[in-house]
Amino acid sequence: MFAIIQQGGKQYKIAVGTTVGIEKIEGSPGEKVELNDILLIHTDEGKTITGDEVKKTVAKATIVEQYKDKKVIIFKKKRRETYRKRFGHRQKHTMVKIDEINYKGGEEEWRIKKDKAPQEMAEIVTQNIWVLNALEDSVSREVRLLFGRMALKLNLVSM
């Protein structure tokens, strides 16, 4: 799952557990911040959520460091004139680590955290596999294959 956020006039692609350098946010390293301006969410199931549905979504992050970008040289010159100006600029940035993304919209409500998401997903898949095995005849082959693939991705079963 990933999300697209807007910060300081630029857009960034974030996912839980990633570290992103964004425009400067006030705060010291170790401080928790909330990123509210989320434009899009793409779920693991392939569903894309945009517009008014993501207004209540919040991405929680921790500030890792405050730093300056490389120096950019601005040079102005007019030919056949004795006019030359040279300036330098270093943009300030904040490195943040994305801790979780909370989505509250419509009928669905979920929270993705780096540590708990695979464990919770593994429990759901194992419970559903047991149910599918109990109802072998009434469940379609495609559904059983889907849950089998999910179990393989989560390393619950081996081939």
Chain segment 131-144, per-residue pLDDT in tens: 655 555 555 666 66
Average pLDDT over the chain, rounded to whole? Answer: 79
Question: Exposure string (b/e) for 82-105, b if CB count within 10 Å is 16 or more?
Answer: eeeeeeeeeeebbbbebbbbebeb
Domain ranges of the chain: 2-114, 116-159
* Cβ contact 95:31 at 8 Å: no
Instruction: Please indicate, yes or no, whether the overall pTM of this predicted structure exceeds 0.75.
Output: no
**pLDDT digit string, tens, across residues 22-56:** 999 999 999 999 998 899 988 888 888 888 878 88
Identify the three-state secondary structure at position 130. helix
* Dist CA 54 CA 6 (whole Å): 13
Two tokens, residue 82: 């004795």
Confidence (pLDDT) at 159: 44
Identify the three-state secondary structure at position 120. helix
* Cβ contact 131:143 at 8 Å: no
